[in-house]
Structure 1
Amino acid sequence: MAFFQIALGGLVALLLFATVIAKLPLRWWWIRACEFPRLQLASAALVAALLALPLGSPWGWSLAATGLLVVALQARFILPWTRLWPVQVKDAEPGQTAPCISLLIANVLTPNRRAAELIAIIHQHEPDLVLTLESDAWWQKHLDAGLEAAWPHSVKIPLDNLYGMHLYSRLPLSDTRVEWLIQDDIPSIHTDVTLESGDTIRLHALHPRPPAPNESEETLWRDAELLLIGQAVHRTPMPTIVAGDLNDVAWSRTTRLFCRISGMLDPRRGRGMYSTFHARYPLLRWPLDHIFTTEHFTLVALERLPYFGSDHFPILASLCFRPSRSDEHDTPEADGEERAWARTTIGEASVREQKT
């Protein structure tokens, strides 16, 4: 029993440490990584609290209270991405069909060779736009064969460094640019998309480097890329979608700041987490693949699609272009201090050399 109490105390202390340290405004990858498993930390803390209660001693009650404190602190971040919270992007009117746009995102996992399964998923759902990430020359060959006939407009960046990117579109693309925003081996796609109605919207497709061992010891360069796009969206008041594997969770400090800097909305809020990574480990999942919109859109549907061999599930969003309903949305907004922080982060990332 003594060993059990000590082990339980160590677990609760570790959970509290991970919860508190994630609040520190530091960029080391192992600190920022504590922002990812908030649901898992809260679940473990709840189990620990329930195990501590039967101990019936001041020690047990202290452990239970600490566990419940961890649950409460984590719930503050988790709840907006559950159905207990108001939706941030309003639902489209029933029967609304135009002008609408659907976008499918799939991080393919470069060594994965189950391209036929992904192509079958794409043909089943027939999205207007298909964005693939980690797609190299092998993936381009198979995607071209399966998609070019029906998705004739495309942007192709085949790379073998895990940051290849391909965009296939049924809709015309214009003013298309491939940019290397912060690091010279990390591409991004920026393009205008003409809807069937004739309206034009802007799409930014991103895949910044993750904070992880052998990738980046700090989140500085990932954060700077997101905030740089946030600034661009804020400066250009046109209907915009930002999409991609952002290597960050929806509730992180950086992603929430990105939304305030840009004024963009998260269709997940009030609907669920729609966790896309890790596809093979159900207990270790969080939302890494994102679709953000400006206030000009309403949501028809949001769906996580089936497994096709990657470590990510694809995700599909169907949106309606409804600028007349913009005032129904509560648009987030950054204050002066947050905008200064964003400028400092971008400036530092542009001059510092990354260490891995």
Structure 2
Amino acid sequence: MFITLLVCTFAIAIATALPLWHNPHWSVRSFDFPRLQLAFLAALLLIVQLLLLDLSRPASWGLVIITGLSLAAQLWWILPYTAIWPKEVKDARAEDPERTLTILTSNVLTPNRNAPALLKLVEQHQPDILVTLESDQWWEEQLAALEKEMPYTIKCPLDNLYGMHVFSRLPLHESEVCFLIEEKVPSMHALVELRSGDCVRVHFVHPAPPSPTENDESTERDAELVIVGRSVADSDEPVIVTGDLNDVAWSPTTRLFRKVSGLLDPRVGRGFYSTFHADYWPLRWPLDHLFHSDHFTLVSITRLPSIGSDHFPFLTRVKLAPVRGQDQEPLRPDGEDHSRAEDIVRDQSASKHDVPEPGE
């Protein structure tokens, strides 16, 4: 029994410590994702140790301490995404349709053919903007009916799992499709005009993940997030960045993006809102995101029902309220963060100047 618990303890400890290594290889970065699951396993293992080990032996206490530290480390990363943490984004005080922006982000999964389910959600929730990821020419044709009510569009149908479409009820200005880091991975950038006449700079992104079937390392994904973050940090205008980041909310890379961009995460203090994997509830984590500048407060954030994809759609309503939002506090970068960001973009020969700046 002791040997079994020893092996389990060191497995949990390694899985906890490995992501602290900044190695970008997928085999290391993949441990950024299942922190909630690892916290659950560490808590279960700790209970088993306390019940079954001979606690009069120093070696037994050694295992208990290692497991306890592993659990504490996992909780440090994930607790901000629970209701016990202070909210990073304030709740909107009152409805104001003229200054409210509703965005529905949906990774549709290219081979998925349940377009009617997504159309039904659009009809039900009436988003101002629909962003689809992994949408190819078939999906473009199925969603064409939306253009009657959402006539402002940006289209980039691809059959490589990185197609992207935007449908908007609100006017889009200076729209642009870019391939910031990888030649087959697009992003979209525009200025959306609210009903009030105010304009918001929006960036829709879907960088490729580190995985054995795509990129061996996370450097391409990380570089795209860093240069977009650096670009929006220079803006004094309202900004939103949304999409499937192929990264979890609590990872070092997403935290780095939040630090260099100065954007806020409405999940903090509210919940995980895990959007992937839709079919396997024990293996879920938040991959689809919306970050915004302090010009906004939050009306609502919702994970919508499955449409047959491996991702749940993600619906966010924010209200432009710069006076109320001005004292909201984002994460602050330090010297090490700036140095790490510089190393990431240098590795990919990328620059924030590669990112369009609509409205600037």
Give the corresponding residue for 1:323.
322
Counterpart AA for 2:100: C
Report if the CA contact (8 A) 2:98-2:194 is conserved: no
Counterpart AA for 2:297: T
1:185-206 CA-partner distances (Å, limit 9, x unpaired): 1100000000000000010000
Deviates more, 1:31-40 or 1:324-333: 324-333
Give the corresponding residue for 2:63.
63
Report if the CA contact (8 A) 2:81-2:267 is conserved: yes
Counterpart AA for 2:203: H
2:30 to 30, 33, 51: 33
Matches within 5 A, 1:216-255: 216-255=215-254
Give the corresponding residue for 2:340.
341
- Using structure 2 for the length normalisation, give the TM-score: 0.94
Which ranges in structure 2 are unaligned for 5 or more consecutive residues?
Answer: 351-360
By how many angstroms is 1:237 displaced?
Answer: 1.9
Partner of 1:98, secondary structure, is helix
Q: Indicate yes or no: 2:14 matched with 1:17.
A: yes
Report if the CA contact (8 A) 1:87-1:267 is conserved: yes
Give the corresponding residue for 2:72.
72
Matches within 5 A, 1:105-116: 105-116=105-116
Q: Indicate yes or no: 2:10 matched with 1:46.
A: no
Partner of 1:148, secondary structure, is helix
Report if the CA contact (8 A) 1:278-1:311 is conserved: yes
In 1, distance between residues paired with 2:199 and 2:331? 23
Give the corresponding residue for 2:294.
295
Give the corresponding residue for 2:358.
none
Structure 1 segments, 4+ long, off by >6 Å, are: none
How many residues align? The count is 347
In 2, distance between residues paired with 1:331 and 1:23? 22
By how many angstroms is 1:60 displaced?
Answer: 4.1
In 2, distance between residues paired with 1:225 and 1:247? 12
Matches within 5 A, 1:124-203: 124-145=124-145, 147-203=146-202
Report if the CA contact (8 A) 1:50-1:64 is conserved: no
In 1, distance between residues paired with 2:67 and 2:223? 35
In 2, distance between residues paired with 1:334 and 1:275? 26
By how many angstroms is 1:272 displaced?
Answer: 0.3
Give the corresponding residue for 1:90.
90
Partner of 1:27, secondary structure, is coil
- Using structure 1 for the length normalisation, give the TM-score: 0.95
In 2, distance between residues paired with 1:6 and 1:143? 57
Deviates more, 1:24-33 or 1:276-285: 24-33
Counterpart AA for 2:99: P
Report if the CA contact (8 A) 2:90-2:325 is conserved: no
Report if the CA contact (8 A) 1:49-1:66 is conserved: no
In 1, distance between residues paired with 2:334 and 2:67? 34
RMSD: 1.3
Report if the CA contact (8 A) 1:300-1:318 is conserved: yes
